[in-house]
Structure 1
């Protein structure tokens, strides 16, 4: 079996196991584009542009089921040599039906002045350079220019780096999402953030201004 085939097998096997039983806990983050935008710079010059097919070879470690690629709102951050460093999707309310069709109620219904930032991924070669929060600023600024008043995103509570990057870019937690799989049935709930998670959040972002 080739390495690619082995990778495919492991990836889809993990998805299969996940749907038998799993629990994912995430915070929803929101950025007020009128008052919350914070200009952040990476340690290298970067700019964002729409993704093109040749960019995909830079994100082989970012395995997906192929559904998000059906959304035509993918952007990449590139360095001065136009090498892609980071990839994400900026999704507006016109794609609410696709979001629901592909992922059920995993994401809230977007309002007309709201955009979702999803599937954020930094090329491993460029990690540790502060690219994530810098792109969050640039992609949110693009959302503002496109008419949004807020951008939202979700990050698993266990991923402290994502939480810190969100806070550094000006995003604030606004909801708690739990996704449960049991015997291939999915249940998604949104609720207020429990006090103990807010305490944990403030401890995680301690020192960030």
Structure 2
């Protein structure tokens, strides 16, 4: 809590908005285990969004934030599940119809979704399933659900220092689109988006 307050006194966070064009050719990456994706069910929640007694403080926080997102009713939470139907990954898919709630819930941390654009947010893989290539495949499959929302593009946001997630996004055919900067100064937050410089 003390660290969070210090960050809000003065800090700057950099992230990348990545975008996938669902009409662009893409071969889904492979994972080390067989998975499928479906909407998260009530029975899944304690299995993947509740931390055990031995969980780290970070793990408790990550799962708590996703429970809060689930309780908000925002978008649709999809789960990647194993062959035995055990949830091993979650991520939310939101559409332009959710713009008002997205801006309210996240406080302007995401760009306003343009027509034909969806958002993926809240990715989480429990520790036992990390390092198996699940994110790239699951994210690829969930992004394709956006076609049912009449979306051609899907965006997501990842911190510039989160290398594993950036690699997972690249495998799912997401590429840099915008740079995001979140600047805190005396408890006031300013979020700016700038186009990624052409290579």
TM-score between the two structures when normalised by the length of structure 1: 0.81
- CA apart distance, 1:139: 0.5
CA shift, 1:157, in A, is: 0.4
Task: Give the alignment partner of residue 127 of structure 1, picking from 113, 130, 137.
Answer: 130
Gaps of 5+ in 1: 1-11, 199-209
Q: Distance in 1 between matches of 2:39 and 2:30?
A: 20
Q: Is the 8 A contact 2:95 2:149 kept in 1?
A: no
- The alignment status of 1:19 with 2:11, answered yes or no, reads no
In the TM superposition, 1:34-53 aligns within 5 A as: 34-53=23-42
- Given candidates 105, 109, 115, the residue that maps to 1:102 is 105
Aligned equivalents of 1:14 and 1:54: distance in 2? 35
- Residues 1:162 and 2:133 aligned together: no
Distance 1:80 1:14, change over 3 A: farther
The answer to whether the 8 Å contact 2:10/2:184 transfers is: yes
Q: Match for residue 118 of structure 1?
A: 121
* Offset at residue 136 of structure 1 (A): 1.3
Pairwise CA distance, 1:22: 2.5
Q: How does 1:47-62 map to 2 (within 5 A)?
A: 47-57=36-46, 58-59=48-49, 60=51, 61=59, 62=62
Cα distance in 1, alignment partners of residues 19 and 153 from structure 2: 7
Equivalent pairs, count: 185
In 2, are the aligned partners of 1:31 and 1:37 still within 8 Å (CA)?
no
What is the aligned partner in structure 2 of residue 28 from structure 1? Answer: 17
Are 2:199 and 1:184 equivalent residues in the alignment? Answer: no
| Separation in structure 2 between the aligned mates of residue 122 and residue 89 of structure 1, nearest angstrom | 13
Change (3 A) 1:37 1:175: same
TM-score norm. by structure 2 comes to 0.85
Deviates more, 1:60-69 or 1:81-90: 60-69
Does the aligned pair in 2 maintain the 1:37–1:137 contact within 8 Å? no
